[in-house]
Amino acid sequence: MGHNYCRGRERGRVGILKKRGSVLALIGSKRKISLLILTTLFLLMVPPASADLGTPVYSSWTTNPPTIDGDISSFLGEWTDATTRDFTLDMRLRALDISMENLTARFYVKNDVTNIYAAVQIFSDDYDAANLGNHYDVFALLFEDNHDHVLVSGDNGEGIWMWASSPYHTNNDWYYNLSATQWLADLPHAGQTNDGAFAWTHTNMVEEAIGTYTFEMRIPLVGSDGDAYDLAIISLPKTLGFKIWFYELDEGMDGVYPDDTAYHPNDQETLDGTKFGNLVLAPPPSAVGGMAAPIVIPINEPNLLASLIWMASAIILPLVATIAFVKLKKKKL
């Protein structure tokens, strides 16, 4: 009788210990799964990193095309509906990679269904347009057309050499030549057409005099030379890679925007598609309840598709983890 009682108590202790072990195991599993869910949610709250430089520039939609004459006059209101971005050009010597000066500048951009309208002002800089020992300045707005972070032959640009005798002075429609590893003018190099319009001024057009440069551009979304030399944008919105480049040849120094401060010399950023920023062209508005709203256009950009995949993952993965947690809880109980 005593032996049976002891055996019963022993079996009871074993049963209690087993239950405690099961409960502890279940608690441990719950904690691990809860930690997994929280970690997953935290990671999904962080948007995917972008390899593009700087903050994206979102072009404004316009119904007010500016006159391309190199003059930004506030009383005309030509650029009041444009997106503007103030920036700094860190002018660095090519030979020694030393920062010589910082120039303040401003970028204006807007678009309609036909053109990009862009302007750049560079403040408090000396005027250089003579060819006395290559004493002239160079300006360009360059595009990485496909936004795949790779420059290929035919990527588009707009630019000018200030020296009036240069073929780059009046032939302002540029393209990237992969085999030459440089930006060339459509004319005379490619024998194509000079699309769009380009105009510039300086407020003090005396050699070495200080003033403000103004560059204005009209760039067709679909150029007459096709994708081989021009933009070929057939749907909006559209994201382009972009780089602003200013070269003071007489002093041998370049400034770029956006600028990878760890990547030098600066002029090499104009040849590297991974060092361009994002320019997002606006779609035309459509009336929705009396309000202007973007039209719905099929996705044709890898970065937009990646964002949708990320959003879907943020919904699906926590749901899957929750279902697994519930099933495990039922199994343990």
* Bridging pattern class, strands 53-58 and 277-281: parallel
| C-alpha R_g of the chain | 30
Q: What is the pLDDT of residues 47-85, one digit of tens each?
A: 333 448 899 999 999 999 999 999 997 667 899 999 999
Q: Compute the mean pLDDT over every residue in the chain, rounded to the nearest whole number.
A: 80
Distance CA 301, CA 306 (A): 9
164: which DSSP letter?
A: T
User: Is the pTM value of this prediction over 0.95?
Assistant: no
Q: Are strands 60-61 and 99-111 parallel, antiparallel or unpaired?
A: parallel
Window from 127-136, 213-222, 252-261, 268-277 with minimum mean pLDDT: 127-136
Task: Measure Cα distances from 92 to 95, 105, 246 in Å.
Answer: 9, 16, 11
> If we measure between CA atoms, which residue out of 12, 255, 252 comes closest to residue 123?
255
Confidence check: pLDDT of 325 > 90: no
SS (H, E, C) 260-321: CCCCCCHHHHHHCHHHCEEEEECCCEEEECCEEEECCCCCCCHHHHHHHHHHHHHHHHHHHH
